[in-house]
């Protein structure tokens, strides 16, 4: 399989690779965290070959903090670094034009991001989302709220919920909710760009999409990340078990014709 850059994925360096001839060290992600080869990395960087280049392949949240800085200090510094990067990052013109058109003439607004398609088991309770929206509304004095969702059903529900809280919800129409199709990716990036202009966000804490939108907005510290609720996870698991039990006979050919 080829990536967008013409490389075969199996050819991309994994974990820790040292190229003495080019005085190059390549560090890539590891399923169990990079800590497993930090000692090797340290040795490689002090090797007699004296590497001059360290290449980091990561998903955007890899940071080398200044030595001696407390974590809370460098985390804030790293968020600011990412915020500046996101502001300068040009997306495809169609995405940028769509986002600008949606933002044109808008009063300051709150952002609500809902992630149910693949994060339903890590979702907060409805009451927790409602409470966070009320707190965001009261703290900011804003009534306009942009809703970004990955399912039409969830969006419709929260349009109604927001209205019941005295909020004025709005959203961007999209043609496809299927995440395997290009159209849904385009819509998601437009949503992300718009969320990045929110004054405060309410979002699922397990969604890095929403976390980075809060960072891009410069609203991370005044936003409302909602942790997964065990009851929600149990409900999702229960539905999965029921579905499995109901479909078991058909999946195992109990009703197939002889």
Residues 166-207 pLDDT 10s:
999 999 987 765 655 555 678 888 999 999 999 999 999 888
Q: What is the pLDDT of residue 62?
A: 59
Report how far residue 206's alpha carbon sits from residue 228's, in angstroms, rounded to the nearest whole number.
7
Residue with tokens 């790293």: 78
Tokens found for residue 200:
């405060």
Candidates 170, 199, 204, 175; CA nearest to 188 is: 175
Report how far residue 199's alpha carbon sits from residue 194's, in angstroms, rounded to the nearest whole number.
11
Q: Is the pTM higher than 0.75?
A: no
Q: What is the pLDDT of residue 23?
A: 79
Q: What is the pLDDT of residue 139?
A: 97
Q: What is the pLDDT of residue 42?
A: 79
Domains present along the chain, CATH in parentheses: 13-57 (no CATH), 91-227 (3.40.50.11350)
Q: What is the pLDDT of residue 4?
A: 39
Q: What is the pLDDT of residue 17?
A: 76
- For 12-30, write each residue's pLDDT tens digit: 445 777 778 877 777 776 6
- Is 198:192 a contact under the CB 8 Å cutoff? no
Per-residue pLDDT of the chain (258 residues; tens, 9 = 90+): 333 334 444 544 457 777 788 777 777 766 556 666 777 777 877 777 777 776 666 655 556 666 777 766 778 888 898 899 899 988 888 889 999 999 999 999 999 999 887 666 778 889 999 999 999 999 999 999 999 998 889 999 999 999 999 999 999 987 765 655 555 678 888 999 999 999 999 999 888 889 999 999 999 999 999 988 666 555 545 555 556 555 656 655 665 554
Sheet holding 24-28, edge to edge: 16-19, 24-28, 53-57
């Amino acid at each position: 399989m080829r990536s967008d850059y013409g490389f075969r994925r199996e050819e991309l360096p994994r974990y820790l690779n040292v190229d003495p001839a080019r005085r190059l060290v390549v560090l890539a992600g590891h399923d169990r965290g990079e800590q497993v080869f930090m000692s090797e990395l340290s040795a490689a960087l002090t090797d007699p070959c004296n590497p001059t280049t360290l290449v980091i392949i990561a998903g955007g949240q890899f940071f080398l903090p200044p030595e001696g800085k407390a974590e809370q200090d460098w985390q804030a510094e790293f968020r600011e670094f990412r915020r500046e990067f996101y502001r300068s990052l040009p997306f495809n013109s169609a995405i940028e034009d769509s986002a600008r058109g949606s933002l044109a003439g808008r009063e300051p607004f709150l952002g609500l991001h809902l992630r149910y398609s693949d994060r339903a088991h890590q979702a907060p309770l409805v009451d927790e989302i409602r409470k966070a929206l009320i707190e965001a509304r009261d703290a900011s004095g804003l009534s306009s709220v942009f809703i970004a969702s990955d399912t039409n059903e969830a969006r419709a529900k929260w349009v109604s919920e927001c209205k019941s809280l005295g909020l004025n919800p709005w959203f961007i129409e999209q043609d496809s909710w299927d995440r395997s199709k290009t159209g849904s990716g385009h819509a998601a990036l437009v949503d992300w760009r718009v969320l990045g202009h929110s004054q405060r966000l309410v979002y699922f804490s397990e969604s890095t999409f929403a976390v980075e939108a809060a960072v891009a907005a410069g609203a991370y510290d005044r936003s409302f990340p909602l942790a997964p609720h065990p009851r929600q996870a149990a409900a999702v698991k229960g539905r999965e078990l029921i579905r499995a039990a109901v479909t078991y006979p058909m999946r195992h050919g109990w009703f197939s014709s002889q």
